Structure 1
Amino acid sequence: MAYALLAVRLLVGIVFAVSAAGKLRGAAAFRGFEDSARAMGVPARLGRPVAVAVVAGECAAVVLLALGPGGAPGFALTLLLLAAFTAGILRTLRRGTKASCSCFGASTVPIGRRHVVRNTVLLALCAFGLAAGLAGTPAPDQAAGVLIAAFAALVGALLVIFTDELGSLFDDGAPRTTGRVRGPAR
């Protein structure tokens, strides 16, 4: 359990660090994130404060995940942030608004179901991390196990960070139907 908790702490920490860095890499990137938030329904007057709060929350989560033996405060914060992000994505999808995901910086990929799936997986990992952290899971003590956990975290984080790119590999561009597909009329 100690190595699984370490892997999840590292994975979530990397994801949130890259997310914050992508938004902070320059003024244009931050404005792009603000624009994305507005496109998702954040009122114009709240665009900047919400963007600042999100980035501050992501940075705080990274620090909190690194502190203490279990990272429970960091997992609690990431659960709150991810729940808010997922609610925003779901609302955007329900409204049919065309917005791009600027989670990791500039992106032209429209928000879609893959973002909900990605966030649901992260929510589950954070719930596990919070439970394990609160249970007082001991720190890992074997160097080989730590290396394996770190490698697994890096691979998992890369899969999360490159969700859009990986999804586009399997997207054939065909329109998706929401109902049952019927055969030709007889």
Structure 2
Amino acid sequence: MAYALLAVRLLVGIVFAASATGKLRGAGAFAGFEDSARAMGVPARAVRPVAVTVVAGECAAVVLLALGPGGAFGFGLTLLLLAAFTAGIVRALRAGTRTSCACFGASTTPLGRRHVVRNTVLLALAAFGLAAALAGTPVPGQAAGVLVAAFAALVGALLVIFTDELGSLFDDGAPRTQGRVRGSAP
């Protein structure tokens, strides 16, 4: 359990660090995140405070995941942030809002079900991490186990970070309707 907790702490920490970095890498990236928040229904007067709060929360989550024996406070914060992100995405999708995902900075990929699935997986990982941290999971002791956990975390984090790119590899570009079956003629 100790190595699984370490892997989840690292994975979630890397994802949140990449997310904050993507939004902070330049004025254009941050403005793109603000535009995405506005399109997702954040009132115009609240866009800047919400965007700043989100980025500050992401940075704080990374620090909190790194501190302490289990990172429980970091997992708690990531659960709150992920729940808000997921609710915002679901709301935008239900409203038919067409906006790009600015999760990791500038992107042209519109929000879609893959973003909900990605966040749901992250929510499950953060919930596992919080439960394991609160249970008092011991600190890992074997260097080989730590390396395997770190490698697994890195691979998992890269899959999460590059969800849009990976999804586009398998997307044929055709619109999805209830009557259309993948592979059938339009």
Same fold per superposition (TM over 0.5): yes
> Mapping of 1:86-105 within 5 angstroms?
86-105=86-105
Aligned to 2:37: 37
Q: Indicate yes or no: 2:126 matched with 1:126.
A: yes
Correspondence for 1:65: 65
After superposition, give the CA deviation of every residue in 1:102-144 in whole Å (9 maximum; x if it has no partner): 0000001000000000000000000000000000000000000
Q: TM-score, normalised on structure 1? A: 0.96
* Residue 179 of structure 1, CA deviation: 5.1
Partner of 1:15: 15
Output the amino acid matched with 1:82: L
User: What's the secondary structure of 1:140's corresponding residue?
Assistant: coil
Shift in Å at residue 30 of structure 1? 0.6
Q: Distance in 2 between matches of 1:10 and 1:179?
A: 41
Q: Which runs of 5+ in 1 are unaligned?
A: none
- Pairwise CA distance, 1:65: 0.3
RMSD of aligned residue pairs (Cα, Å): 1.1
Match of 2:175 in 1: 175
**C-alpha distance in structure 2 between counterparts of 1:79 and 1:148, whole Å:** 25
Partners of 2:39 and 2:20 lie apart in 1 by 19
Distance in 2 (CA, whole Å) between partners of 1:78 and 1:145 is 25
Going from structure 1 to structure 2, the CA distance change for 1:134 and 1:166 (only over 3 Å counts) comes to: same
Match of 1:146 in 2: 146
Between the aligned residues of both structures, percent identity stands at: 87
4+ runs of 1 displaced by more than 6 Å?
Answer: none
CA distance in 2, matches of 1:145, 1:84: 34
CA distance in 1, matches of 2:60, 2:100: 25
- 1:77 maps to 77
Cα separation, 2, equivalents of 1:139 and 1:179: 52
